[in-house]
């Protein structure tokens, strides 16, 4: 998927602002070697560096890496896929915020993360959990279907019960697993929901005629207004899966 990195930093900066809480759980120590998996535009990667750790950021998006390099030229960043990366030296910790739901082959990512960590290395990750943005996905799917389009879901939003066994099979001991609601305020009071769908849901409309897309977006806005528009602002119905795990074998 192509990322509009300007729309991301202008209207969806909450993604990395919320990630600051996860960074506190990571608690990076000076001289630790840390991988930021899916570093995006680099804000959290830089914060890890600011705490004295030696950080490496990877992302599959050239657009996001261009933005990250422009904003934070001193960072070490690489264009790599989460299912297929390797470094000569292992990491003390892997950090990943709001990324892993984009990778359908989640077993491959977990294997890669285990392989990239030192023995006893830690994983501090957060991504979309079961029923994440279900109201938005449900409304868009309903209207796509009504217009005669077929839609295949593309995100991976697991429950704790589905995800933690994958970690355990790959040599991790799970220390914390939390599945929580996080209704997320969208920045633009008028176009917040449409901006979100344009930025993150481009796949919905890959094969959709532009006039149908405009009509569907209008209907989705009308459908969701009673539930996701409150006190003059749009919210997205996020559900997060937050995990801390330690490599044990």
Q: Which residues contribute to the site for ligand BEZ (CB under 6 A)?
A: 98, 101, 128, 132-133, 155, 200, 238
Which of 148, 140, 231 is CA-nearest to residue 189?
A: 231
20-28, long-range: CB within 8 Å, 24+ apart, which pairs? 20/44, 20/47, 22/95, 22/97, 22/124, 22/125, 22/126, 22/242, 23/47, 23/48, 23/95, 25/124, 25/176, 25/242, 25/244, 26/93, 26/95, 26/124, 28/52, 28/53, 28/55, 28/93, 28/95
For residue 170, the minimal CB distance to ligand BEZ (Å) is 23
Report, in Å, the least distance between residue 96 CB and ligand BEZ.
11
Least separation in angstroms between CB 36 and ligand BEZ: 16
Q: Using CA atoms, how far apart are residues 108 and 85, in angstroms rounded to an integer? A: 11
- The nearest distance, CB 239 to ligand BEZ, in angstroms, is 8
Comparison of 91 and 238: residue with beta carbon closer to ligand BEZ: 238
Closest residue to ligand BEZ, based on beta-carbon distance: 128
**Nearer to ligand BEZ (CB atom), residue 200 or residue 235:** 200
Measured from the CB atom, the residue of 155 and 229 that comes closer to ligand BEZ is 155
Residue with smaller CB distance to ligand BEZ, 44 or 133 = 133
């Amino acid at each position: 998927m192509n990322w509009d990195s300007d729309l991301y930093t202008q209207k969806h900066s909450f993604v990395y602002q919320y990630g600051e809480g996860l960074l506190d759980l990571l608690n990076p120590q000076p001289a630790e070697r840390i991988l930021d998996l899916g570093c995006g535009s680099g804000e959290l990667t830089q914060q890890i560096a600011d705490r004295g750790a030696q950080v490496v950021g990877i992302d599959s998006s050239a657009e996001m890496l261009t933005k990250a390099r422009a904003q934070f030229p001193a960072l070490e960043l690489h264009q790599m896929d989460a299912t297929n990366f390797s470094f000569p030296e292992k990491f003390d910790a892997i950090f990943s915020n709001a990324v892993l739901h984009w990778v359908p082959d989640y077993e491959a990512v977990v294997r890669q993360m285990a392989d990239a960590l030192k023995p006893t290395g830690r994983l501090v990750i957060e991504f979309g959990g079961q029923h994440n943005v279900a109201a938005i996905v449900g409304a868009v799917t309903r209207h796509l279907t009504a217009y005669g389009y077929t839609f295949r879901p593309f995100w991976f939003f697991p429950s704790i019960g589905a995800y933690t066994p994958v970690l355990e099979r790959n040599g991790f001991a799970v220390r914390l697993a939390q599945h929580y609601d996080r209704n997320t305020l969208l920045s633009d009071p008028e176009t917040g929901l449409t901006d979100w769908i344009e930025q993150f849901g481009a796949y919905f409309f890959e094969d959709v005629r532009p006039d149908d897309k405009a009509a569907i977006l209008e209907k989705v806005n009308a459908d969701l207004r009673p539930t996701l528009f409150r006190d003059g602002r749009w919210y997205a119905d996020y559900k997060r899966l937050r995990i801390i795990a330690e490599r044990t074998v």
